[in-house]
Structure 1
């Protein structure tokens, strides 16, 4: 019997890659999309689209006939002005979709959390799923909202639902339509708009490996467990140097003292945003860069069979996708 999967967030970066992977693996896919969503990432795919939202009181009826749920949808923003929407979409939306899934008889759920919910260790420390920063120490409302959304998943597990949690690190690759903050970094580099950089670090993974990790979690993950979907820890400078190697463009050599972007971000968000100017640098984004965000994905590799591909290929494919889809003028 062909398994039918209900996917939220299918128009987004991870979701679009997940939908494609599920279709390649022979799954039927039903994707929940908001009525106002851009559907370019799902164009010409053999799938069913349901136009609604996470807080639709009739959502369970729209999930009938599906056996599994991939709850990928989330609001991602580091701006102060989006605080309320973050909690509405990420926390209450997760509570709503899990309730609807129970009513619809969904057999198994993979919930897409984030390493943001885990937090970071001491400066330079590589952490795994056993680590948990106190919620009050998580930087910004996005990270806090993902933490509280994860708690909704744990509550549902205790009430009998079969849920596996995956925590992607920083995905890169094709179909980054919005684009994500990491995609913005690549774009700014390609547009030669990055004269300097901040000393920090992150964990990168090919977005297609993240998609594959979701299916592995469905097939092999333990109920109530979380799995970091990550690959390569590297400094921000190393990322820029790799982009330089792939493109032939010069990598910035000057570092920025943290107070400078922090001051600019504060002025943009608190002085200019109320006057109608869209801020370009979020305060929380700068604050996050104070400390490298390094993660250990051994659990997903050993228990799920995740086999991350070279990050160089993911970066090259991201570059090619942005160029092919007209992001570089």
Structure 2
């Protein structure tokens, strides 16, 4: 099988492209940073550079491939709607059109459980529990991109959508690097009582779920899938585990949720008034994410994809810590 992996210079796309190569698949990759895919090219991947907002490039990328694993997109909280729409919706539309024109059989689309975020705690949230309004442009555009993907079914494209939660492991440049940086600056505090439980996902488990999606058939197609390790853990225990493994000071200071939320609101308000609208150092959404319970119901993935998260969170964290330690001077 020959596949295309977009966003391969990033963490999730890069790790899956490498996994697919190890499974014997022919892999074409696209990414923003050529240096980010050098390790894949050395393993036999074909690299095609370019901007996915160009429909012509999308068409060339999809030539002669059987499946596309779409991991590219904009991530974040701050920024204009147009930016997120272009990176998450328009790019996905280009790929969908290219898949149809080039007769690609299947499209696996990486979405996000951010579509569920509404500032409230959620335990075991299901795929159909999408809020009527979205908390930010990222969640709104990721959900709209999903709808573009599902709409292609009527034209014969086989599609699956994935919503993985807090993916970590070797190569994670998002979750823990940010927390480590905040702790080193003395800005990281436990928000609320520190007992909130959340889901994480080992990148190895996500790789297994994506690979299963390449082979799935029948009722498994045309579905959105929550992906996690299936065992919510206390968020601040996880954070302190990583800090301890890396020899960093533990997070012990607490701040009341209401106080943190108000500080984030003021921070956002000031940044909106400043020239250039600089990114705030604290968001209301981030405060809620760090203080509220949040876990996914993954029974659909278990049943339809035979998803079995074998790598536990502590092994994934050890993998991240070993990798992170090797990167430091």
Q: TM-score, normalised by structure 1?
A: 0.86
Residues 60-71 of structure 1 aligned to structure 2 (within 5 Å): 60-71=59-70
How far apart, in 1, do the equivalents of 2:73 and 2:326 lie?
27
1:96 maps to which residue?
Answer: 94
2:178 maps to which residue?
Answer: 184
2:106 maps to which residue?
Answer: 108
Residues 1-329 of structure 1 aligned to structure 2 (within 5 Å): 3-34=1-32, 37=33, 39-43=35-39, 44-58=42-56, 59-79=58-78, 81-119=79-117, 123-134=121-132, 136=133, 138-176=134-172, 179-189=173-183, 191=184, 193=186, 195-199=188-192, 200-220=196-216, 222-231=220-229, 232-243=231-242, 246-247=245-246, 249-272=248-271, 274-275=274-275, 278-289=279-290, 291-308=292-309, 309-326=311-328
Conserved in 2, the CA contact under 8 Å of 1:139 and 1:288?
no
What do the CA deviations read for 1:82-121 (whole angstroms, capped 9, x no partner)?
4321111111211111111111111111111111224479
How far apart, in 1, do the equivalents of 2:266 and 2:118 lie?
27
How far apart, in 2, do the equivalents of 1:39 and 1:282 lie?
32
Conserved in 1, the CA contact under 8 Å of 2:3 and 2:68?
yes
How far apart, in 1, do the equivalents of 2:120 and 2:185 lie?
33
How far apart, in 1, do the equivalents of 2:111 and 2:60 lie?
25
Conserved in 2, the CA contact under 8 Å of 1:116 and 1:147?
no
How far apart, in 1, do the equivalents of 2:299 and 2:253 lie?
34
Q: TM-score, normalised by structure 2?
A: 0.86
Conserved in 1, the CA contact under 8 Å of 2:200 and 2:232?
yes
Q: Gapped runs of 5+ residues in structure 1?
A: none
* Aligned-pair CA distance for 1:209: 1.4
